[in-house]
């Protein structure tokens, strides 16, 4: 049984955290010792902290003792100086904790192409460390510290009650713009107190990310700093040492539950967004086709702006699926939209169900909801399905991204 619990990452045994925000510049520190795995941006411009963190985890065999994350400066496209600064962040924290710098994960988020204020970060480390705690407040302050254009902090945690014992999975994330990760998210730090073997940890994270973070689109841009790190403290005593075990399945389900909720929070908090869109595509001949079609729909500027304006121009959804590259039979497709309470059938087996003023009025009402569900069957007779999440595209998105100071 899986149930939501409070506390985010600090609900996980073995995790302590804290963070501060000073204007645009924040710093978070999380301490937790255990096996670790990561996924990283597919952008060819890779931020310095990602390079260093990836090298650290590969070099030390997949193990972390702490993470340090700053906001306000991405330390991306900063050359050798950026690499030195990322290493300096790790070294400064490692010295205070009495650990080797190669066991420190480093993350940054903010403006690209500016030199990091490393002395400011060192000052903030001294402020944060005495306040490290395993409390809801500590989790809240850590979430706030890594926010940039985010309007709300993002965290989620669950407890699993299984035959092998109880264990927890918790995560925090930040992300609002530059979101179509194709790997993970802007930044996500996830923890479990299960004792998970390194190979399972890595495999589980990649699969969970593929189904969750990889399925969100805010604006179609892939950040230089996307990173998701997963650490297992092993404090619960529940061992996940075999891919075939029931416990491994329970861990995978719990991990995907946490990442899915974080992904939805990111999509809902897209820069300037007012609505969350969930698009489920069925009837695809391959999972790749289902993914392509669902993401094309939530990525489409015309679909996103129509939903923002409550414009019942549902033909834009059909068009987006049609150009997605997925196998598609327009004579057999089905399309339905819902707000979770009422629904409108727009196309059934290739035929327009209704296109009168009453139907369009119902659709306009549905599109005024805070969460909108799009369901499309591609009409190929295939069995594959996928769900993607996105948000509407508003005037505020342009305002936020036209402001040099953000």
pLDDT higher than threshold 90 for residue 354: no
- Assign 398 a pLDDT band (cuts: 50, 70, 90): confident
pLDDT higher than threshold 80 for residue 210: yes
231 is catalytic: no
Domains of the chain: 2-267 (3.60.70.12), 276-401 (3.10.20.340)
Q: Which two tokens stand for residue 30?
A: 């999380």
- From first CA to last CA, the distance across the chain in angstroms is 43
* Percent of the chain clearing pLDDT 90 (strictly above): 80
Q: How far apart are CA 258 and CA 360, in angstroms?
A: 36
pLDDT higher than threshold 50 for residue 92: yes
DSSP per-residue letters across 178-208? SB--SSS-SEEEEEE-SEE-HHHHHHHHHHH
CB-based burial, 9-30: b 16+ in 10 Å, e otherwise: bbbbbbbbbbbbbeeebbbbbb
pLDDT higher than threshold 50 for residue 183: no
Annotated catalytic residue: which of 185, 231, 257, 380? 185
pLDDT single digits (tens) 288-344: 999 999 999 999 999 999 999 998 899 999 999 999 999 999 999 999 999 999 999
pLDDT higher than threshold 80 for residue 382: yes
Q: Name the nearest CA neighbour of 109 among 168, 16, 177, 36.
A: 177
Q: Using a cut of 0.75, tell me whether the model's pTM lies above it.
A: yes
Mean pLDDT of 235-248: 92
DSSP per-residue letters across 249-306? HHHHHHHHHHHHHHHHHHHHT-TT---EEEEEEEEESSHHHHHHHHHHHHH-HHHHHH
215 in helix, strand or coil? helix
């Amino acid at each position: 049984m899986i149930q939501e619990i409070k506390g985010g990452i600090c609900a996980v045994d073995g995790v302590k955290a804290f963070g501060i925000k000073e204007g645009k510049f924040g710093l978070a520190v999380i301490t937790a010792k255990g096996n670790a795995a990561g996924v990283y941006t597919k952008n060819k411009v890779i931020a310095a902290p990602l390079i260093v963190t990836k090298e650290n985890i590969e070099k030390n065999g997949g193990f972390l003792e702490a993470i340090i994350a700053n906001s306000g400066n991405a330390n991306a496209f900063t050359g050798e100086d950026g690499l030195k600064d990322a290493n300096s962040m790790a070294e400064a924290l490692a010295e205070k904790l009495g650990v080797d710098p190669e066991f420190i994960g480093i993350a940054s988020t903010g403006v690209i192409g500016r030199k990091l204020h490393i002395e400011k970060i060192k000052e903030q480390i001294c402020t944060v460390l005495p306040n490290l705690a395993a409390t809801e407040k500590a989790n809240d302050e850590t979430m706030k510290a890594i926010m940039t254009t985010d309007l709300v902090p993002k965290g989620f945690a669950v407890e699993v009650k299984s035959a092998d014992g109880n264990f927890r999975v918790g995560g925090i994330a930040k992300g609002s713009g530059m979101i179509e990760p194709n790997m993970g998210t802007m930044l996500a730090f996830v923890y479990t107190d299960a004792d998970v073997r390194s190979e399972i940890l890595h495999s589980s994270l990649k699969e969970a990310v593929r189904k969750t973070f990889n399925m969100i689109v805010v604006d179609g841009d892939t950040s230089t700093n996307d990173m998701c790190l997963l650490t297992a403290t092993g404090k619960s005593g529940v061992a996940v040492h075999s891919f075939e075990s029931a416990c491994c399945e329970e861990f995978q389900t719990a991990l995907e539950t946490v990442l899915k909720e974080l992904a939805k929070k990111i999509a809902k908090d897209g820069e300037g967004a007012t609505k969350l869109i969930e698009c489920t595509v069925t009837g695809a001949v391959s999972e790749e086709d289902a993914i392509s079609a669902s993401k094309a729909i939530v990525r489409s500027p015309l679909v996103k702006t129509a939903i923002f304006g409550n414009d019942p121009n549902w033909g834009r959804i059909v068009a987006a699926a049609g150009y997605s590259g997925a196998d598609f039979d327009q004579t057999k497709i089905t399309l339905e939209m819902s707000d979770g309470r009422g629904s409108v059938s727009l196309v059934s087996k290739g035929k327009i169900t209704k296109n009168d003023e009453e139907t369009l009025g119902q659709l306009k009402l549905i599109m005024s909801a805070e969460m909108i569900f799009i369901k499309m069957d591609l009409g190929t007779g295939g069995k594959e399905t996928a769900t993607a999440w996105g948000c509407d595209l508003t005037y505020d998105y342009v305002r936020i991204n036209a402001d040099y100071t953000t």
